[in-house]
A = this chain, B = another copy of it.
Amino acid sequence: MQRDETVTPPLSIQQQPELVLIELLFYAYRDFVSDPDVVLAKFQFGRAHHRVVHFVNRHPGMRVADLLDILKITKQSLGRVLKQLIDTGYIEQVPGPVDRRQRLLYATAKGRALDQRLTEPQAERIRAALAPLGPEGRIAAERFLRLMIDPAERDKVAQMIEH
């Protein structure tokens, strides 16, 4: 009994050249996000904690709703890891000065130190990748990745990144 493998050819790069970038994205991201795992393990934290402490550190005083909008997860999912980070002193909450329903989020010194340790190996990977490329290579990589973001999100993301 023969397999039906010749009925339709499997996806090939020739017929679908986007496969190269699709797969490169997978492999690159796979290795990129594994960098901080060693550090995370020492702190008994996971990748979710990394994301939270990072974005809070990058946007001091951000609202919980802002963080949810970046991470695209539910408040219950966020709540769990956020609570752990607050209880262990990596993040603190401050009532919003104008709207006191808000709990503005700040990384503590401890939280900033953690974020820096987590970010360091990723930054090193980026530097190593950019080294052989020159400034135009960097610009091109940034431009491509920006265009990979949902159009409706692009301006918001651009503003958050530039500061």
Contact = CB atoms under 8 A, between A and B. Distances in A.
A72 interface: yes
A99 interface: no
Nearest to A124: B18
A27 B147 contact: no
A21 to B, nearest CB: 5
- Complex copy number for this chain: 2
Contact of A5 (B30, B60, B122): B60
Main secondary structure of the interface of A (DSSP, over half): helix
A112 interface: yes
A24 B145 contact: yes
Interface residues of A, number: 72
Given A27-B153, A130-B144, 13 more contacts: A5-B106, A11-B112, A18-B126, A18-B127, A19-B58, A21-B126, A21-B142, A26-B51, A28-B148, A29-B29, A31-B150, A141-B145, A144-B144
